[in-house]
Amino acid sequence: MKLTRILATTDFSKQSGFALEWAAYFAQCMKADLIFLHVITEEEGKIFEEVIGEGAVVQIPKGIRQNVVEERQKKLKEQYEMVVSREIKASLKMEGLIRIGVPFLEIIRAAKEKDVDLIVMGTHGRSGLSHALIGSVAEKVVHHAHCPVLTIKHPQYKFIAP
CATH of the domain at 60: 3.40.50.620
Domain that holds residue 91: 5-160
Give yes or no for residue 59 having a pLDDT over 80. no
Which residue type sits at 47?
A: I
Pairing state between β 56-64 and 46-53: antiparallel
Cis peptide before 148 (omega within 30 of 0): no
Count structural domains, the chain. Answer: 1
| Residue among 88, 114, 110 at smallest CA distance from 31 | 88
* Contact (CB, 8 A) for 121 and 154: no
% of the chain with per-residue pLDDT over 90: 49
C-alpha triplet 21, 23, 28: angle, nearest 5°: 100
> What confidence score (pLDDT) does residue 162 get?
57
> What confidence score (pLDDT) does residue 152 get?
83
Per the prediction, the chain carries an average pLDDT of 82
% of the chain with per-residue pLDDT over 70: 74
Statement: the pTM of the whole predicted model exceeds 0.85: no
Give yes or no for residue 55 having a pLDDT over 80. no
